[in-house]
Each structure stands twice: as C-alpha cells, then as structure tokens.
Structure 1
Amino acid sequence: MVTHKLIYDEEMEEPFTLVAIHSSEEEYKVAYLMNQHLNTRFKRRRIDIDLPSKSLMITFPIFDFLDELNYAQFHLVSNKCRTVEASLQSSGGLFSEIDSEKVTNHFLLPEFKKVDFFLKIYSDFENVSLQSLVSQINNIAQIVSAYVVETETIKSKNNLIFD
C-alpha cells in the first residue's frame, strides 16, 4: 500500500503591493482626493476591519476600488485608530469627583507607527504602473508623502487580510 504525504512548506499568499501614505487628513477626505486625482472610485465598506484587543474592539475604516480594466483591486485603509476611555473617580467627598480620559492609539501595522494610511494593491498582471501611481499620489497637495513598502519586512501581515 502506497501512502502519499503532502508537505506544506511555505504560506500560500497572494502577491500584493503596499504603498504607505502620510497625510493629516481624515480617511474619507484621502479617499475623495484619490478619487479626484487618480481617476478611481473608492467606496467605503459597510463593515470596517475589526481587530480584537484586550478589552476593546478596534475598527479601521477601509475603502475599496475594483479596476476591471487593469484587473487590479485596491484597498485604502487607515493605519491608526484612536480610542478614548472615560473614567469617573470619586474620593468620597461631595464635589471631589475627578473626570479623566485615557487616549490610546492603536495601529493596523504596529511596525509602521508613523504611517497614516496604506494602499494595498492586488494585481494578477503588471498592468498597474507603480512608479506612476506613487508619483500621482505624491502630487496631491494634502498628502505629505507616499512610497512603496517592502512586504517582506512586515511582521504583522495577518492584519492585512481584508476578505
């Protein structure tokens, strides 16, 4: 009797390109600006990306665009999520209640804390000119900078699974 053994050596992942974007604008404004300048049609998903934390559910807004002409799929996602926890402390006196707020920043990719947004690009073919795309993004006045991130250096790749 012959037995066949399957060995699973490496992870099967779809190749993607990741562009880091630095901007102080809100996520909907960045999507709008990219729609205006890049001739795209980013639309916000009804359901955001949820990442469970210790006691919180952290959500990151995501915008999608499917380019059927170039067989490419684009995802624009915020890297930062800010949570505010309010607490009320009383020391027992009549007017001695203390209000305090704890602000915590959470990141989709913690190793890139200075990046505001990521543009993830899936493409089966090399139809998307990456140099041209990055230069067009950099030409938008409200965007400080944009550059390609080497995907091999990303430690938390599982946070980039959006489906």
Structure 2
Amino acid sequence: MIHHKLDMGEESEEPYTLIAIHSSEEAYKVAYLINQYLNTRFKRRRVDIDFSYEGMMITFPIFDFVDELNYSQYYLFANKCRIAEASLQSSGGLFSEIGSEKDHFLLPEFKKVDYFLKIYSDFENVSLQSLVSQINNLKQIVSAYVVETDNIKSKNNLIFD
C-alpha cells in the first residue's frame, strides 16, 4: 500500500510588521491621535480580542483601518489589560472584600509596551521609518519602534481573523 505524506513545512504566515507604542493614554485616544495626525481612519471593532484565563474573560481593545490605495491593513491594539480581582475574607464581619488588580498581556514578552500597531502590506508602499517618525512626533506618545517579529513567542495571539 502506498502512503502519502504531506510536509507542510513551516506554517504559511502572511508577512507583517509590528510597531511597539509606549503611551499612558487610553486606547481610543491613541487611535484618535493617530487618525488626526497620520491621516488614517482607525475604527474600533465591534468585537475585542478576548481570551479566557482561569475562568475570567480578558479583553483587549482593537482598532482597524484598511488602506485600499496602498493595499495595506492596519491594526492598533492594546497589549495590557488590567483586571480587578475580588476575593472574600472572613474577618469577623459579615463579608470583607479585598480587591487586587492584576495585569494581563497579549504579548507577555513585551510587558512594558502599551500598544502595538500591526501592518499587513502586499507591497513596500508603507515607509516604516516615516511612519515611526510621525508617531514619535506626537507629544502623547513616549516612544515607538519596530519590533522584530522573529523573536515573538506568542505569535498565535496576533491572529485576529
């Protein structure tokens, strides 16, 4: 009997660029600022990026923009989600609630990054140096830089569709 073996090699992955953004502003404000100064039209998706972790649902806001003229697709998303966890303790009273906040990260290897800008482009139409420079010129942005995607361990968290 003849056996056929399919070798898929590495997973076929669309090339993308990832820009890390450090800012203390809220996600909607970062999207607004980028829209205002970079001539984009980011809109928040109806459904956020969500993960189930230890019985809790963790959500990260995501904004997207399709540039049909340059055949590019942009995603702006938060890397950090802060969840308030409540725990009950018996302290002589009826109930005593002690709350603690815990941060969860979409890409845990980049815990200091607040937001990411993910860019899919079929062509080299997007000038990364110019884009990063324009983002860095915004006074509410502390810094922005390109991240090497080969070093990312949790690449599966970057699949949005």
Shorter-chain TM-score range: over 0.9
Return the offset for 1:92.
Answer: 3.5
Return the offset for 1:85.
Answer: 1.4
Q: TM-score when scaled to structure 1? A: 0.94
Letter of the structure 1 residue corresponding to residue 112 of structure 2: K
Pairwise mapping of residues 130-145 of structure 1 onto structure 2 (< 5 A)? 130-145=128-143
Pairwise mapping of residues 14-93 of structure 1 onto structure 2 (< 5 A)? 14-93=14-93
Q: Which consecutive segments of 4 or more residues in structure 1 shift more than 6 A?
A: none
Return the offset for 1:102.
Answer: 1.6
Return the offset for 1:88.
Answer: 3.3
Relative to structure 1, the CA distance from residue 37 to residue 93 in structure 2 (aligned partners, 3 Å threshold; closer, same or farther) is: closer
Letter of the structure 1 residue corresponding to residue 27 of structure 2: E
Return the offset for 1:112.
Answer: 0.1
Q: TM-score when scaled to structure 2? A: 0.95
Return the offset for 1:139.
Answer: 0.4
Give the match for residue 127 of structure 2: 129
Give the match for residue 104 of structure 1: 102
Distance 1:117 1:89 in 2: 36
Letter of the structure 1 residue corresponding to residue 149 of structure 2: T
Unpaired runs of 5+ in structure 1? none
Letter of the structure 2 residue corresponding to residue 18 of structure 1: L
Distance 2:28 2:92 in 1: 45
Q: Deviations over 1:133-162 (max 9, x none)?
A: 000000001000000000000000000001
Query: Which residue of 119, 135, 145 maps to 2:117?
Result: 119
Unpaired runs of 5+ in structure 2? none
Relative to structure 1, the CA distance from residue 28 to residue 93 in structure 2 (aligned partners, 3 Å threshold; closer, same or farther) is: closer
Q: Deviations over 1:23-67 (max 9, x none)?
A: 000000000000001000000000000111112110000000000
Q: Deviations over 1:70-114 (max 9, x none)?
A: 1000000000000001233233446xx432102110000000000
Distance 2:84 2:2 in 1: 61
**Matched position secondary structure for 1:111:** helix
% identical equivalent positions: 75
Return the offset for 1:2.
Answer: 6.3
Give the match for residue 7 of structure 2: 7
Letter of the structure 2 residue corresponding to residue 60 of structure 1: F
Over the aligned positions, Cα root-mean-square deviation in angstroms equals 1.4
Letter of the structure 1 residue corresponding to residue 132 of structure 2: V
